[in-house]
């Protein structure tokens, strides 16, 4: 049959890989959106996490900056944590609240969020290539009527690709500097950054920053 011939020629491999990438993207989306981003637990449950948190604080951070109690959920905030009013929780190493996933991006799900963006970018680039290969341009009304859906799909893919690409690049840059979106945007309002002698006391070099984030 034609299907067997296509399989023998390896023509079914690319669609299969594309479907697997889409499935992987969907699974990552649900994983990142449903998982705990690093919610700060009540103080009596935080004893086990204090040692780990202190190991992330570099000596350049002023010693007079003490953890403060959140005015919303009344838990003692570790350094780099922030209260999210949408999630109604304080989040460790808070980056931002993402409307795409309806969840915060924080200490626990930030690496998976980067993986999700990366897979999504590959899917969009591949889909854009497929859509472009199906377009042949003619200056006629009949051509527009027959290709309007494909043309709109291609334009939407281009827009989403640009958005995802810029988002991924910006996050990788911030990760390489060991800072977060919240710290980058609100540097002047954060006490442990405002009173630090260094602009970014958490920066330990690009390689070590990336290693500690991903590994």
Q: How far is CA 108 from CA 16, 41, 195, in A?
A: 31, 14, 27
Structure token pair of residue 77? 């905030």
Task: State whether the Cα torsion 201-91-210-50 is positive or negative.
Answer: positive
Which residues have a catalytic role annotated?
A: 98
Q: How far is CA 113 from CA 27, 116, 140, 150, in A?
A: 12, 5, 44, 29
Report how far Cα 168 is from the mean position of its chain's Cα atoms. 7
The DSSP code sequence of 114-158 is HHHHHHHHHHHHHHHHHHHHT----SSHHHHHHHHHHHHHHHHHH
For residue 175, which of 215, 135, 134 has the smallest C-alpha distance? 215
């Amino acid at each position: 049959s034609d299907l067997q011939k296509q399989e023998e020629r390896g023509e079914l491999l690319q669609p299969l890989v594309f479907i697997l990438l889409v499935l992987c993207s969907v699974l990552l989306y649900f994983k990142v959106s449903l998982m705990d981003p690093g919610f700060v637990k009540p103080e009596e449950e935080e004893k086990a996490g204090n040692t780990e948190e202190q190991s992330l604080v570099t000596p350049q951070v002023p010693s007079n900056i003490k953890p403060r109690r959140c005015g919303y959920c009344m838990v003692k905030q570790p350094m780099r944590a922030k209260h999210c009013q949408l999630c109604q929780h304080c989040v460790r190493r808070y980056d931002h609240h993402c409307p795409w996933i309806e969840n915060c991006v924080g200490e626990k799900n930030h690496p998976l969020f980067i993986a999700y963006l990366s897979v999504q970018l590959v899917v969009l680039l591949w889909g854009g290539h497929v859509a472009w290969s199906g377009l042949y341009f003619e200056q006629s009304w009949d051509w527009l009527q027959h290709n309007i859906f494909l043309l709109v799909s291609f334009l939407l893919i281009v827009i989403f690709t640009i958005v995802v690409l810029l988002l991924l690049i910006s996050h990788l840059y911030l990760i390489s500097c060991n800072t977060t979106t919240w710290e980058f945007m609100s540097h002047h309002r954060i006490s442990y950054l405002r009173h630090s002698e260094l602009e970014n006391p958490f920066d330990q070099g690009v390689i070590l920053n990336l290693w500690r984030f991903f590994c």
